Amino acid sequence: MRWSKTLSMIEAHAEGEVGRVVTGGVVDIPGQTMLDKMIHINRVDDGLRRFCVFEPRGYAPMSTNILLPPTRDDADAGFIVLQGDKAHAMSGSNCMCVVTVLLESGMLPMTEPETIVRLDMPAGLVVATATCHNGKCERVSLEVTPSFVEVLDAGVEVPDIGTVTVDIAFGGIYYGLIDPRPLGLEIRPESARTLVDIGSKIHRALNQQVSVQHPEQPDLSGISYVMFVDNKADGELLSATILPPGRVDRSPCGTGNSARLAVRHARGEVRVGDTSTARSIIDSRFEVMLKAETTVAGRPAVIPQISGQAWIHGLHQIGIDPSDPYPHGYLLSDCWGEAWDLLN
């Protein structure tokens, strides 16, 4: 066997959402900051993302996290999230996977009963508190970057659907938050394909009609995902985040619930110290707490705390045989949805 590139990975998932972690084979990515490095992937050289994420080495319902040396003195490790459409600035479930891998593999020392891990991400510093026992990372609580509302009750015209009301908020990345009930939708496993089809149409319309840009970090722009938001009968939060090119987040979604927390706070529904249980389409669970109030460029914002668990479930390597005709992979719409052609 002769490979021209080799990456070593540890497989993990956080409450059902796969976030494998590249632990070897990538020395660094050009850029002075983690945001610079993400921009390099998205605008200059997309080869590493395609190699990791596209078939035959990757698959649609997963993320790949590239571990990198931190670019700031107050961080223990840096990483960038690679997904089907591009590299993204923040992800709660992937933070849980990365922290669990760093501690359970021994890449960072584990201290019981708690270990603090500071993560350098394109969206900023994320402070993780890992609850540890007998060498196991039993829970990860994330103090997420400040989250804020961009606009409430925006009307968006969606082809074949009509006017859809959307709340737009930042939770590490920008989200469009949508009540599925006026659209005749329910957040259930058997509705996943329909949620993806309609959510993808709304997402494309949003980015065509609405321009958003972080007031302090202008390179954080555009609406990354849409999230259908509802409540269970017992009051627990229920959601389904739709990720390009067309799938549902298996976890309750950390960044999405951070954006949702900012909206709930703006509407007077939560106060500092309030905690809610967030459920995903597969009924997995995060705990969401409003840890503090703050401001971002003079506008009201909140500091969310998102808690959940990740599990390691495999080890493997991927590589390229020099004669392989698909060094950067391929996509088909049967798995990657109707927007697959936009990614080729």
Active-site entry in 63, 91, 141, 284:
91
Please give the share of the chain, as a percent, with pLDDT higher than 70: 98
pLDDT of residue 249: 97
Our answer to whether residue 132 is catalytic in this structure is no
Phi-psi region of 262 (alpha: psi -120 to 50; beta: other; left: phi over 0): alpha
Domain 148-307 top-level CATH class: alpha beta
Average pLDDT of the residues of the chain: 95
pLDDT of residue 344: 53
Active-site entry in 253, 276, 280, 307:
253
Closest of 278, 282, 264, 270 to residue 308, by C-alpha: 278
Q: How many of the other CB atoms lie within 10 Å of CB of 256?
A: 33
The per-residue pLDDT for range 192-212, each reduced to its tens digit, is: 999 999 999 999 999 999 999
Place of tokens 């080495």: 57
pLDDT of residue 245: 83
pLDDT of residue 343: 58
The per-residue pLDDT for range 63-105, each reduced to its tens digit, is: 999 999 999 999 999 999 999 999 999 999 999 999 999 999 9
Give the span between the Cα atoms of 45 and 62, in whole angstroms: 21
Tokens of residue 311, six digits:
């599990």
Question: What's the CATH fold of domain 5-143+311-343?
Answer: Diaminopimelate Epimerase; Chain A, domain 1 (3.10.310)
pLDDT of residue 338: 66
Pair 7, 27: CB distance under 8 Å: no
The per-residue pLDDT for range 141-159, each reduced to its tens digit, is: 999 999 999 999 999 999 9
Our answer to whether residue 253 is catalytic in this structure is yes
Its pTM stands at 0.96
The per-residue pLDDT for range 245-291, each reduced to its tens digit, is: 889 999 999 999 999 999 999 999 999 999 999 999 999 999 999 99
The segment(s) of the chain belonging to CATH 3.10.310.10 are 5-143+311-343, 148-307
Q: Phi and psi for 104 in degrees, rounded to 5?
A: -75, -20
